[in-house]
Structure 1
Amino acid sequence: MTGFARAEGRDQGHAWTFEIKSVNSRNLDLRCRLAPGFDALEPIARAAIPQRVRRGSVNVALAVTRTAAANQIRINRDLLDQLIALSMELGGATEKPRLDALLAVRGVVETVEDADGGEDRERLEAAMAATLQQALDHLSTVRLAEGARLVHVLNQHLDEIARLTDQASACASLQPEALRQKLRGQVVALLEAIPSLTEERLAQEAALLITRADVREELDRLRAHIAAARDMLAKGGAIGRQLDFLCQEFNREANTLCSKSSDVELTRTGLALKAAIEQLREQAQNIE
């Protein structure tokens, strides 16, 4: 399932933004791209996201900026002492080096950021973790809304599969009289091909022909799969993998129906069933 969420926070001279994107994937693939110095938040993200997302490719990005001047000026005294000594050596003891010239030398005056104290750092990371949870809440809302729309689409595909299953059941070749007429013709053909065929062998061949022509079992299983899929959609939750498996079972029954069919109308219906099942499978891969 796809989704995008963004949440912002501010504290202790910092401003930050979490962005989370998710796209369809068979498994859960999590990637984090965090601002330098905030790697401690990655384990928090990796622990929190699987509780909300079971399936999909999820990218988490954290951007952090300073909002307050928290810099300090520091003198590189080792470098300054070396410059003073060198100036005295080259210019003589009577000529003192100018302070403004020394401070202008690159590297003598350094600007450094305040190091966050232990407690302050923990509080900052806790505030960022709370913002991450806000972004995940928003992502869950977006994904749930998409899931609700997909349920309607999936039910439409199930309606089409149910219609085609009923159509296959109504085919003239499946009616008892049609089966009997077809069997009589096949028995006559057997006797003409093998005149010495015994009654026992003839009964065996007739039973085999009936079994091969009977697709009622496949149709019953298709109806059972339709009912199971509707139950899953009504229950909700992370049902994507279950639906994937059920689509495989749908397809297996449709393939068997087509292989058993010797009737043009039934074969056409079986092929339409396979197309409808493939559409169901493609949508099932988009849900969690």
Structure 2
Amino acid sequence: MIRSMTAFARSEADLGPQQAVWELRTVNHRYLEVNPRLPEGYRGLESHLRERARETLQRGKLDATLRLSDNGGDGGSLRLDHDLARSLVDLGRESVRELGTPGELSTAELLKWPGVVVTATLDAGEAQRRLQEAFDAALQELVEARGREGQALGTALEERLDGVEAGLARIKERLPEVREAFRNRLEERLGELRERVDPDRLEQEVVLLVQRADVDEELDRLATHTAEVRRVLREGGAVGRRLDFLMQEMNREANTIGSKSPDTAISQTVVDIKVLVEQLREQAQNIE
């Protein structure tokens, strides 16, 4: 499977009083570049991020952003300091009994007392573990998204390869007629020179001229490159650089065919092929 370098993924982690959100974005890049964006106090996660990214991705610029927010007073993050609460209740009762004060502490008054209600927090090790697990989950989602996008890219590439092969078939079908017409025109133009030029030398020049207009080798090489692109797509993996090189070679062969061809129809087909190759190149730049 081929994978795109463009994707987005998100995951969350519950840190008790805080909620953590990872956002991962990747875009095209010649190599793998990892840019962690972490709040102060969480820089220790950076080594884990870079290591996991290197294990999972081959190319692309990865922006990994960690956002933290309060859980909004979630009751699950609060607890009662039982020892302090009991002490306050006992003191209230003692005050009533010994000093004759109006009454014991109410529940509302008790809960308002500083330190009675405390926020439950995670220890640093547990918080880091949860953040790492959430990052790994987001990274896996990112890989899957890149795979889905890569599948769509592969389909688009195959369609354009079909177009290139169809153009090659049209050129090959047209070539015999073009060659015959080319020879006839050449013979007519050179016929009047035969009496003034050495016949053997003239024949050599004709052969050289015909050879210069021959595009069989270029057509074969372009067909070979097209077949190689299909093979690379089937093989999958990190093939973006390989595909980029093949697109350059395909464009070079198409240019040569166009420059050699004396036929308008073939020249137009070459233009169509070059447009398809350029589209292939643009798509291949998105592949890991």
| TM-score strictly above 0.5 | yes
Map 1:120-159 to 2 at 5 A: 120-159=123-162
SS at match of 2:43: coil
> 1:3 maps to which residue?
7
The letter for the 2-side match of 1:32 is: P
SS at match of 1:9: strand
**11-20 vs 257-266, which deviates more?**
11-20
Q: Is the 8 A contact 2:178 2:263 kept in 1?
A: no
RMSD of the TM alignment (CA)? 2.6
> 1:256 maps to which residue?
256
Give every structure 1 segment of 4 or more consecutive aligned residues whose post-TM-superposition deviation is greater than 4 Å: 11-14, 65-70, 172-176
d(CA) in 1 for partners of 2:54, 2:42: 20
The letter for the 1-side match of 2:226 is: I
Structure 1 position 236, deviation (Å): 1.1
d(CA) in 1 for partners of 2:163, 2:157: 10
d(CA) in 2 for partners of 1:229, 1:172: 25
d(CA) in 2 for partners of 1:240, 1:207: 42
Q: Is the 8 A contact 2:258 2:270 kept in 1?
A: yes
**Distance of aligned partners of 1:50 and 1:199 in 2 relative to their CA distance in 1, 3 Å threshold:** farther
Q: Is the 8 A contact 1:172 1:178 kept in 2?
A: no
Map 1:176-191 to 2 at 5 A: 177-185=180-188, 187-188=190-191, 191=193
Corresponding position: 1:245 with 2:241: no
Structure 1 position 28, deviation (Å): 2.8
Structure 1 position 138, deviation (Å): 0.5
**Distance of aligned partners of 1:188 and 1:123 in 2 relative to their CA distance in 1, 3 Å threshold:** farther
SS at match of 2:25: strand
| CA offset digits 1:29-78 (Å, max 9, x no partner) | 321111110111112212211332222222100123465479xxxxxxxx
**Equivalent residue for 2:33, pick from 20, 29, 53:** 29
The letter for the 2-side match of 1:265 is: A
Q: Is the 8 A contact 2:36 2:46 kept in 1?
A: yes
Q: Is the 8 A contact 1:173 1:263 kept in 2?
A: no
* Residue identity (%): 38
d(CA) in 2 for partners of 1:18, 1:139: 11
d(CA) in 2 for partners of 1:196, 1:140: 74
| CA offset digits 1:240-283 (Å, max 9, x no partner) | 11111100011000000011011111111111111111111111
**217-226 vs 164-173, which deviates more?**
164-173
d(CA) in 2 for partners of 1:175, 1:274: 21
Structure 1 position 143, deviation (Å): 0.8
Q: Is the 8 A contact 1:24 1:286 kept in 2?
A: yes
Q: How many residue pairs are counted as aligned between the two chains?
A: 240
SS at match of 2:164: helix
> 1:266 maps to which residue?
266
**11-20 vs 219-228, which deviates more?**
11-20
SS at match of 1:170: helix
> 1:61 maps to which residue?
65
d(CA) in 2 for partners of 1:188, 1:8: 84
d(CA) in 1 for partners of 2:283, 2:37: 30
Map 1:33-52 to 2 at 5 A: 33-52=37-56
Q: TM-score, normalised by structure 1?
A: 0.75
> 2:113 maps to which residue?
none
d(CA) in 1 for partners of 2:257, 2:55: 41
Q: 1 or 2 for the larger relative contact order (CA 8 Å, sep ≥6)?
A: 2
- Can you give the 5+ residue segments of structure 1 that lack an aligned partner in the other structure? 71-113
Map 1:101-116 to 2 at 5 A: none
d(CA) in 2 for partners of 1:278, 1:46: 34
> 1:101 maps to which residue?
none
**175-184 vs 220-229, which deviates more?**
175-184
